A and B are shown apart, each in its own frame.
Chain A
Amino acid sequence: MAEMWISMGPQHPMTHGLWTLKVKVDGETVVDTEPDLGYIHRGVEKICESRDFTQITTYCDRLCYASANTWSHAYIYAAEDLLEVEVPERAEYIRLVAVELQRIASHLMWLGAYGPDIGNLSVMVWCLREREMMMDLLQELGGSRMHYNFPRVGGVKRDLPHGFAQRARAKLKLFLNRIQEYEALFDESTVFLVRSQGVGYAKPEEMVNHGVTGPNLRAGGVNYDIRWAHPYSVYSELDWAPPVERSSIKGADCYDRYRVRVEEMRVSASLVLQALDKMPGGADTYHEPEDPMILAKAPTRAPEGTTGAHHFEDSRGESMFYIAGGGEGRGKQPYRVSIRSPMFITIPYAAKCMIGYKVADIPAIMGSFDPCIGETDR
């Protein structure tokens, strides 16, 4: 049969954003793919070169609308490496709470968007209901619902508000019960199983070579996680293990990637609960902003020759910032900020995964990798 190229996107439900997937088809079979990105390239790296170190957090929040806190924290760790700041331990615990709550919210957003992708419409409303609880908690910390601007170089903006720990415990307890409802909704849906099982196989060694990390990698039966491999924050103090899925012999399919994210929400909830219990000074005490318990004094200048880098476990894989100091105003601004987006690397690989499957499998495979175009195009 004659082969032809089809352009899926930039407006297509499969894209989860704004980009084009060019698909070469032979009948119904995908024989070649080529992603075309850059539709919402804002030049964040260039903008950062004319901003102070403290001002950049705002732009990092806006890299990914579903997972803002993980991105601003990834930047803050790199900036602290650059400016050589020692962070108070209580601030590290508060950051862990913020990041893991954000991870749950991000995975819920993914789960809610993935259901409609493959014909399970009601799940979207259920997931957004629980995401609302996480957003409320994050709003208490950062003050806004989406872009929190919460971490600061040297600590965090605010301490946990009065009664936060109590509300977080209650909401997470409710949430942990409700995860079972999602599992019932997905695992007992024949449509979901037929469309997600046995498509989009990916092998771990190949994924690492292609730069794919995070939940997508752990779905393949390996437990690699930046949080233990290059420890930051206080993960070493808590009792946890990254969830790993027992994949099939051919590798991880879309169903494994769904399973691993649901398990990861449980682990994140457990991490938050542990952090609230173990926090130095207790989760119920409150410190004023800029108290040395939650915010260390940090220099504002980084002269030329200094560099900072940090690998961070984002909701979608390994995110990373590399900052070279010594920009305008005798180092008040960075000379160069470079951002590693996990999805920028994963989307080409996901496009390769589709080869050999049917056109109808494309939304199932693409959605299972959790694409976010805000961070991809930067």
Chain B
Amino acid sequence: MGNTVSPDSQKSAAQAVADAASAIEGVEAEVVERSSGTNPRNVVVVSASPESWRFLAENLYSEHAVDHCSMVTGIHWPDVEAERRWEVVYHLLRTGVRDPPIENGLVRPMMANPTKLRGASVPIELEIHVHIPDTTTPSVDSVQDIWVGADWNEKETWDLVGIDFDGHQGMRRVLQPHETPQGFHPLQKQHHLRYHGFEEMYDDAQGFMRKPADVGKIK
């Protein structure tokens, strides 16, 4: 019974990470109490400038054992003030997973006891918001080499939202067809879902409505 991480230990662990992260220039961090169903949970919510993001990521990975990148989300905000027209949200986890020890040539499974975890081994979750000012070519530093799990997340974010990642190796379309026109990123807000009218690729993904380039010009 009660074999889950307690909210109190989670809160103190989250607070320690938030305090350390706030010391970095351009970074503001706080612990926010959220809920999931009937359970309270504590999330480290961080706001970082694009310049400080790469340093913050390295710091979290090496100093605070944040070892898992869950998700990278890109958001296009065309209607807000110019300083935050683009946003990248990173969801990170500290899992505390280590390769299990080997004794006498056999692996001894690593069974973490959730009620006894303390300090830097308590699992925590982080939500990092990076705001990018208004530009036609938004980009932030890639963290592909820190968390390999961010690799395909970043590819997807560029593919669907159009936010580029500096230093990302092997950027390409992953969910959309490879021949998608350059500059078409469907989750940008100028693209609307439409069921009539065929100007946009979304409506004509199958190519039934495509016409030759010289249609109407030759007899």
Contact = CB atoms under 8 A, between A and B. Distances in A.
A complexed with B = yes
Nearest to B2: A236
A238 B160 CA distance: 41
Contact of B187 (A45, A80, A204, A238): A45
A110 B123 CA distance: 29
Given A38-B173, A38-B174, A378-B175, A236 B109 contact: no
A316 to B, nearest CB: 14
B136 interface: no
Interface in B163-216: 173-177, 186-187, 191, 193, 202
B70 A318 contact: yes
Interface stretch (B16-24, B32-40, B50-58): B32-40
Report which residue of A41, A230, A235 has the largest number of chain B beta carbons within 10 angstroms of its beta carbon. Answer: A230
Contact of A92 (B38, B41, B175): B38
A209 B147 contact: yes
Interface in B135-162: 147-153, 156, 160
Given A310-B36, A340-B91, A246 B107 contact: yes
A205 B70 contact: no
B97 A80 contact: no
B91 A208 contact: no
Dominant secondary structure at the B interface: loop
A228 B36 contact: no
A177 to B, nearest CB: 27
A236 B95 CA distance: 18
Contacts of B71: 320, 322, 338, 340
Interface string A202-214: 0111011111110
A82 to B, nearest CB: 10
Interface in B57-106: 67-71, 73, 75, 89, 91, 93, 95-100, 102, 105-106
A81 B176 CA distance: 31
A88 to B, nearest CB: 8
Contact of A231 (B39, B43, B150, B177): B39
A356 interface: no
A223 B109 contact: yes
Contact of B123 (A209, A221, A229, A239): A229
Interface of B: 1-5, 34-39, 41, 43, 67-71, 73, 75, 89, 91, 93, 95-100, 102, 105-112, 114, 123, 125, 127, 147-153, 156, 160, 173-177, 186-187, 191, 193, 202
25 contacts: A41-B175, A45-B160, A46-B191, A49-B193, A80-B37, A84-B35, A87-B37, A207-B97, A211-B153, A223-B112, A224-B96, A227-B4, A229-B5, A230-B41, A231-B41, A232-B39, A235-B4, A246-B106, A247-B109, A311-B91, A320-B71, A322-B71, A324-B75, A338-B71, A338-B89
